[in-house]
C-alpha cells in the first residue's frame, strides 16, 4: 500500500544533510511550513541554502544559525518582528550570504527546474542591479536576461488537506510558492492541517498532485499572528512590513 504519511515532522526531515538546498513555501504566514522549519532548526543542520519568499516562513532556521545562503525576493520582510531580527545582523556581519531575486523570476526558475526546462530569457530587471553577471540578449527589439532553472534538494510545503498518495489542497492565498517548490524539489515534504483518506480531497481542487509529493506530516506549529494583527490594526493596514510607502 502506498503511504506517504510520516508519523512526525522529525521523521520526515531526518535524512536532510548539511549543505542541502531547501525551498520553503509561504508568503508572510500564509502557506508557511512552520512545523518542518522548526523541526529542522532543532536538528542543528548546517550550511543550508534556503530559497523562500519571506523570513516569516524560514525564521527559525535563521535563529538556529543553519543558513549559509539565502535566496529570496523579500528577505527584509517583517524584520521589525523581534524574532526575525538576527537576519539583518548576520547579513551585515557577512555571516549570511543573501541573494536577491525578483519574485516572479524565482517562481519561473523553480517551475523551469521542475518542468525539465533549461535556461530562459526574462525581461525583468533590465536596467537595474539585477543585470549583474547575467547574459543579456535582444529579441524583437526588447532586452532580456538569461535566467537559470533553480532545482531544489528538498521542498518544505504547507497544505490544508493531504492524503496518503501525497495529493494536497491549499486554502485561500496559501498556494503562493508551494506548488512550484513541490515541482522543483527531488524530495518534497508537505505539512497539512488535516490528513484525509484518498477521496477526502475534491479531485477538482487538488492543487498539488501526489506525483510531486514524497512525504506528508501533520502541522503542529501555529504562526505568531499576534504581532501581525497588532501591526495591521496599529497602522490601519498601511505598513505591515518594510517597503516603499
Partner 1 sequence: MKGLTRELMCLRAANELKEGMYVNLGTGLPSQVKDFVEEEIIFQSENGALGYAPTIWDEELMDYELIDASAVPVGMKPGVSFFDVSTSFVMLRGGYIDVAIVGAFQVSERGDLANYKEKKDVLSTPGGIMDICSGVKRVIVLMEHVTREGKIKIVNECSLPVTAKGVVSTIITDLAYIDVTQEGLLLKEIVPGLSLEEVQTVTEPKLIVSKSLQEFML
C-alpha cell at 104: 516572479
Max distance between CA atoms of the chain, in angstroms, equals 56
Q: Which is nearer to partner 1, 18 or 242 (CB)?
A: 242
Q: Which is nearer to partner 1, 5 or 91 (CB)?
A: 91
**Least distance in angstroms from the C-beta of 125 to partner 1:** 5
**Least distance in angstroms from the C-beta of 18 to partner 1:** 25
Q: Which is nearer to partner 1, 9 or 75 (CB)?
A: 75
Q: Which is nearer to partner 1, 3 or 139 (CB)?
A: 139
**Least distance in angstroms from the C-beta of 70 to partner 1:** 10
End-to-end CA distance of the chain: 54
**Least distance in angstroms from the C-beta of 116 to partner 1:** 15
**Least distance in angstroms from the C-beta of 180 to partner 1:** 5
Cβ atoms 184, 23 nearer than 8 A: yes
Q: What does the alpha-carbon distance between residue 164 and residue 99 come to, in Å, rounded to a whole number?
A: 36
Q: Which is nearer to partner 1, 55 or 166 (CB)?
A: 55
**Least distance in angstroms from the C-beta of 43 to partner 1:** 26
Q: What does the alpha-carbon distance between residue 73 and residue 130 come to, in Å, rounded to a whole number?
A: 11
Q: What does the alpha-carbon distance between residue 64 and residue 84 come to, in Å, rounded to a whole number?
A: 11
| SS3 (DSSP) at 88 | helix
**Least distance in angstroms from the C-beta of 198 to partner 1:** 23
Q: Which is nearer to partner 1, 49 or 176 (CB)?
A: 176
Q: What does the alpha-carbon distance between residue 169 and residue 148 come to, in Å, rounded to a whole number?
A: 29
The torsion angle over the Cα atoms of residues 46, 49, 55 and 61, rounded to 10 degrees, is: -10
Q: Would you tell me which residues interact with partner 1 (CB under 8 A)?
A: 27-31, 72-79, 87-88, 91-92, 98, 100, 102-108, 110-111, 122-130, 170-180, 207, 223, 225, 228-229, 232-233, 236-245
Q: Which is nearer to partner 1, 16 or 168 (CB)?
A: 168
CA distances to 69, 74, 94 from 31, in Å:
22, 16, 30
C-alpha cell at 153: 534538494
**Upper half-sphere CA count for residue 68 (Cβ side, 13 Å):** 10
Amino acid at each position: 500500500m502506498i503511504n506517504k504519511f510520516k508519523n512526525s515532522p522529525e521523521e520526515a526531515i531526518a535524512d536532510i544533510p548539511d549543505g542541502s538546498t531547501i525551498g520553503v513555501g509561504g508568503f508572510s504566514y500564509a502557506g508557511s511550513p512552520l512545523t518542518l522549519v522548526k523541526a529542522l532548526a532543532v536538528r542543528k543542520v548546517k550550511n543550508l541554502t534556503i530559497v523562500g519568499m519571506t523570513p516569516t516562513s524560514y525564521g527559525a532556521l535563521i535563529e538556529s544559525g543553519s543558513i549559509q545562503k539565502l535566496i529570496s525576493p523579500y528577505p527584509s520582510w517583517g524584520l521589525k518582528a523581534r524574532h526575525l531580527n538576527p537576519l539583518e545582523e548576520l547579513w551585515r556581519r557577512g555571516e549570511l550570504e543573501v541573494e536577491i531575486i525578483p519574485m516572479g523570476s524565482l517562481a519561473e526558475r523553480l517551475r523551469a527546474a521542475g518542468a525539465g526546462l533549461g535556461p530562459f530569457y526574462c525581461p525583468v530587471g533590465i536596467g537595474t542591479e539585477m543585470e549583474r553577471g547575467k547574459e543579456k540578449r535582444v529579441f524583437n527589439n526588447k532586452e532580456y536576461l538569461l535566467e537559470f532553472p533553480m532545482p531544489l534538494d528538498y521542498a518544505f510545503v504547507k497544505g490544508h488537506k493531504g492524503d496518503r498518495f501525497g495529493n494536497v489542497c491549499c486554502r485561500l492565498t496559501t498556494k503562493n510558492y508551494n506548488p512550484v517548490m513541490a515541482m522543483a524539489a527531488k524530495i518534497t515534504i508537505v505539512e497539512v492541517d488535516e490528513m484525509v483518506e484518498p477521496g477526502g480531497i475534491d479531485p477538482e481542487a487538488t492543487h498539488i498532485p501526489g506525483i510531486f509529493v514524497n512525504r506528508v506530516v501533520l502541522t503542529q506549529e501555529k504562526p505568531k499572528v499576534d504581532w501581525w494583527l497588532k501591526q495591521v490594526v496599529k497602522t490601519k493596514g498601511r505598513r505591515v512590513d518594510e517597503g516603499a510607502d
